[in-house]
Chains A and B, each alone.
Chain A
Amino acid sequence: MADKHASQAPMAWGDDQPLVRVEGLRKSFGSLEVLKDINMWVMPGEVVTIIGASGSGKSTLLRCINLLESPDAGQVWFKDVNLTGPKTNVNALREKIGMVFQGFNLFANMNVLDNCTLAPVTLKKMSKTEAEAEAMRNLDAVGLTQFAKSPVTSLSGGQKQRVAIARALCMKPEVMLFDEPTSALDPEIVGEVLNVMRDLAAQGMTMVVVTHEMAFAKNVSDRVVFMDKGVIAEEGRPQDIFTHPQHPRTREFLARYLEDEPKEA
Chain B
Amino acid sequence: MAKVDRQKGVRTSTKPPAPAGPHRDQPARKKGLGTFLREDHPYVLLGTSVLALCGIWLSMRPRSAMSFLAPYYGLEVALYWVLVAWVAVSVLALLTKILYKDDYRARSPFASEKAKPIERYLSYVVWAIVVVFFLDRAVMGFANTVSVAISSNSKPQGDDLAAVIFIVYECSGIFEAGILTTIELAVFGTVIAFFLALLLVFVRIQVPDRQDNDFVRFLKIVGSGFAKVYSTVVRGTPMMVQGLVIFFGVFSMLRDSGLSTQQANAIWSTFVAGLVVISLNSTAYMMEVLRGGIEAVDPGQLEAARSLGLSQWQAMRKVVIPQGVKNSIPALSNELVINIKDSSVLSVIGVFDLMFASNTAAGIYYTQTPVYAFAAVVYLILTYVASKLLNLLSKRLGAGSVDTTPSSN
| A68–B307 CB distance below 8 A | yes
Q: How far is the CA of A98 from the CA of B307 in the complex (A)?
A: 7
| A118–B318 CB distance below 8 A | yes
Cβ of A160: which chain B residues have Cβ within 8 Å of it? 1
Q: Looking at chain B's contact residues, is the secondary structure mostly helix, strand, loop, or mixed?
A: helix
Chain A 167-196 interface 0/1 with B at a Cβ cutoff of 8 Å (1 = within): 110010000000000001000000000000
| A70–B210 CB distance below 8 A | yes
Q: Which segment, of B31-39, B43-51, B116-124, B298-306, faces chain A?
A: B298-306
Mark out the residues of chain B between 98 and 131 whose CB falls within 8 Å of any chain A CB in the assembled complex: none
| B310–A119 CB distance below 8 A | yes
Q: Which segment, of A12-20, A105-113, A208-216, faces chain B?
A: A105-113
* A91 adjacent to chain B (CB < 8 Å): yes
| A-B CB pair tally, cutoff 8 Å | 89
Cβ of A167: which chain B residues have Cβ within 8 Å of it? 308
Mark out the residues of chain B between 266 and 313 whose CB falls within 8 Å of any chain A CB in the assembled complex: 298, 300-301, 303-311
Additional A-B contact list (11), CB under 8 Å, known A106-B1, A108-B4, A184-B2: A67-B210, A68-B307, A91-B311, A95-B308, A98-B308, A99-B304, A101-B307, A104-B1, A105-B298, A109-B326, A157-B2
Give chain A nearest CB distance to B120 CB in angstroms: 49
| B307–A94 CB distance below 8 A | yes
Give chain A nearest CB distance to B273 CB in angstroms: 39
Closest 10 CB pairs of A and B: A95-B309, A105-B304, A105-B300, A119-B308, A99-B307, A94-B309, A104-B1, A109-B322, A103-B1, A109-B323
Cβ of A95: which chain B residues have Cβ within 8 Å of it? 308-309
Question: For the side of the interface on A, what is the size category?
Answer: 35 or more
Cβ-closest chain B residue relative to A124: B309
Cβ-closest chain A residue relative to B317: A122
Question: For the side of the interface on B, what is the size category?
Answer: 20 to 34
* A60 adjacent to chain B (CB < 8 Å): no
Cβ-closest chain A residue relative to B308: A119
* B5 adjacent to chain A (CB < 8 Å): yes
Cβ-closest chain B residue relative to A84: B210
Mark out the residues of chain B between 203 and 236 whose CB falls within 8 Å of any chain A CB in the assembled complex: 210-211
| B309–A91 CB distance below 8 A | yes
Question: What residues make up the interface of A, taking CB atoms closer than 8 Å to B?
Answer: 66-68, 70, 88-95, 97-99, 101, 103-109, 118-119, 122-123, 152-153, 157, 160, 164, 167-168, 171, 184
Q: How far is the CA of A99 from the CA of B300 in the complex (A)?
A: 12
Give chain B nearest CB distance to A7 CB in angstroms: 22
Q: How far is the CA of A5 from the CA of B322 in the complex (A)?
A: 39
Cβ of A67: which chain B residues have Cβ within 8 Å of it? 210
Q: How far is the CA of A90 from the CA of B212 in the complex (A)?
A: 12
Cβ of A93: which chain B residues have Cβ within 8 Å of it? 309
* B319 adjacent to chain A (CB < 8 Å): yes
Cβ of B298: which chain A residues have Cβ within 8 Å of it? 103, 105, 108
* B30 adjacent to chain A (CB < 8 Å): no
| B301–A108 CB distance below 8 A | yes
Known contacts A91-B311, A123-B309; A107 and B304 CB within 8 A of each other: yes
Mark out the residues of chain B between 1 and 43 whose CB falls within 8 Å of any chain A CB in the assembled complex: 1-5, 8
Give chain B nearest CB distance to A182 CB in angstroms: 13
Q: How far is the CA of A99 from the CA of B310 in the complex (A)?
A: 13
Give chain B nearest CB distance to A61 CB in angstroms: 15
> Which of B2, B3, B306, B326 meets A94, CB within 8 Å?
B306
Q: How far is the CA of A66 from the CA of B5 in the complex (A)?
A: 27
Q: How far is the CA of A200 from the CA of B125 in the complex (A)?
A: 79
Known contacts A94-B307, A119-B309; A108 and B323 CB within 8 A of each other: yes
Cβ of A157: which chain B residues have Cβ within 8 Å of it? 2
| A107–B310 CB distance below 8 A | no
* B252 adjacent to chain A (CB < 8 Å): no
* B368 adjacent to chain A (CB < 8 Å): no
> Which of A94, A108, A118 meets B1, CB within 8 Å?
A108
Select the residue from B5, B304, B309, B326 with max chain A CB neighbours within 10 A: B309
Give chain A nearest CB distance to B314 CB in angstroms: 6
Q: How far is the CA of A149 from the CA of B136 in the complex (A)?
A: 61
